[in-house]
Structure 1
Amino acid sequence: MTLKTQQHGGARAGAGRKINSGKFKEDTKVMRIPSSLVDRVKSTLELYKSQLKSDVRVQIPVYDASSVLLPIFTSRVQAGFPSPADDHLEDTLDLNKHLIQHQEATFFVRAQGDSMLGAGIHQGDILIVDKALVAKSGRIVIAVIDGEFTVKRLHKHKGVITLKAENPEFKDILIKEGSELIVWGVVTSVIHQYL
C-alpha cells in the first residue's frame, strides 16, 4: 500500500495577492456594512476607482445631508438701478431641498478645463450631479468615454450620439461604434464662487 500526500493547498512561497496590486493600488480592509448602504458604498468606490485624467474631479456623494434654513426675501435683486429696500422676509430656503432631488443618487464633481464655458461651467466650479435622472438629449451629463471622465452636453440625433462642448475652442466628441460610453449622471446645478 502506498501512502499519498496532498500536493495542493497550504502556504507557498510567492503565492497570494501582491501588495498594493488590487484595483485601488493601496492597502484595503475587509469590513461589514449594513445591507442598506451597499449600493452607496459601491457607487462611492466606483467613483474613486474611476478617477482618471479627465475634465472633472469626482467628490464624495451626498448622504444624510443636514438641513440648513436660510432666509429668502420677497424683493428681487435689480441688475440695473436699485429700488428702495424691501426687506420683507418671505420664507426660508433649504439648499439641500432646493438643489438635490434624489439624495441617494446625487454626488458632486469639480469641473476642470474650459470646455463648458458657454453653459456657465467654469474651471473649479462644483457640479451637482443626479444619477437618477434620465440622460436625455440636450442635458449636460457626466460621462465616461473609453475610461475617461468628461462633462459635456449630450446630443442624440438619428441614432448618432455626440458629446458637445460649449466652447468653440474644443471639439465635440462623436461616439463611434466600438467606443464605450457610460453616463454617470445629469448635471442639475452649478456652484460658482466669486471670491
Structure 2
Amino acid sequence: MSMIQPPSARVLGPATLNTDPATRPLFGSRVRAGFPSPADDHLDADINLHAHVVKHPAATFFVRAEGDSMHGDGIHDGDLLVVDRSLEPAPGRVLIVALNGELTVKRLEHIGQRAYLTASNPRYRPIPLDGQEAQVWGVVTHVVHALGGGLA
C-alpha cells in the first residue's frame, strides 16, 4: 500500500517554493467525503484564502457569530463570518442586520406580504420587520469554523 505524502512534507525546490504567507498550496484533486479512493499526489496551484472568500475587499468585513440560531445554515457559536456590504439583501440570503441597535445574523424571508428575519434553528420564531428599526449591514458569503479536535 502506498502512502500519500501530505503537501507540507514535500521537498520543494527554489522554483516552486512559495514564501508568501497569504497563499497556501492547493491540492490538485478534491477530497472525497464518501468511500475513500487513491488520491492524485500533486499540488495544482497556490490559493490565497483571503482572495478566495473576499470578492469585494472595500465592502467586506469579518464578524464572529454568537449563539445557535443559525445552526441549520452551518453557522455555529464562535464562527467567523465573511460579510459583503456590496451585495443586495435579497430574500433567502443570510444577512447581518442591526435590529433595534443590536447586531444579529438571520435569513431574510417573505411570509405572505410581510418581511421577516428567520433563524435556521426551529427553536427561534421569525422576527417581523414591520415596526422594527432594522439596518442591513451586509450579506454573509462564507463561514469559517474549526472542527472538533482540529484547532485548539
Structure in which a larger fraction of residues adopt helix:
1
Are 2:108 and 1:154 aligned? yes
Which is greater in Rg? 1
Q: Tell me, in whole angstroms, the C-alpha distance in 2 between the residues paired with 1:141 and 1:79.
A: 29
State the AA in 2 paired with 1:114. D
Q: Which residue in 1 is equivalent to 2:16?
A: none
Are 2:102 and 1:184 aligned? no
Residue 157 of structure 1: CA displacement? 5.1
Residue 80 of structure 1: CA displacement? 2.6
Structure in which a larger fraction of residues adopt strand:
2
Q: Tell me, in whole angstroms, the C-alpha distance in 2 between the residues paired with 1:147 and 1:170.
A: 19
Are 2:89 and 1:135 aligned? yes
Residue 81 of structure 1: CA displacement? 2.9
2:34 counterpart SS class: coil
Q: Which residue in 2 is equivalent to 1:62?
A: none
Residue 90 of structure 1: CA displacement? 1.3
Are 2:11 and 1:69 aligned? no
Q: What is the alpha-carbon root mean square deviation over aligned residues?
A: 1.7
State the AA in 1 paired with 2:138. G
How many matched pairs? 129
Q: Tell me, in whole angstroms, the C-alpha distance in 2 between the residues paired with 1:111 and 1:119.
A: 12
Q: Compute the TM-score of the two structures, normalised by the length of structure 2.
A: 0.79
Structure 2 residue runs of 5 or longer lacking an equivalent are 1-19
Q: Tell me, in whole angstroms, the C-alpha distance in 2 between the residues paired with 1:136 and 1:128.
A: 17
Q: Percent identity?
A: 50
Residue 82 of structure 1: CA displacement? 2.0
Write the deviation string for residues 133-191 of structure 1: whole angstroms up to 9, x where unpaired.
110110000001111111000113554210010001111111123x2110000000000
Q: Tell me, in whole angstroms, the C-alpha distance in 2 between the residues paired with 1:155 and 1:122.
A: 21
Q: Which residue in 2 is equivalent to 1:30?
A: none
1:71 counterpart SS class: strand
State the AA in 2 paired with 1:79. A
Are 2:112 and 1:112 aligned? no
Q: Tell me, in whole angstroms, the C-alpha distance in 2 between the residues paired with 1:156 and 1:172.
A: 10
Q: Which residue in 2 is equivalent to 1:122?
A: 76
Q: Tell me, in whole angstroms, the C-alpha distance in 2 between the residues paired with 1:158 and 1:93.
A: 44
Any runs of at least 4 consecutive aligned residues in structure 1 with deviations exceeding 3 A, and if so which?
156-159
1:132 counterpart SS class: coil
Q: Classify 1:181/1:95 alpha carbon distance in 2 versus 1 (closer, same or farther; 3 Å).
A: same
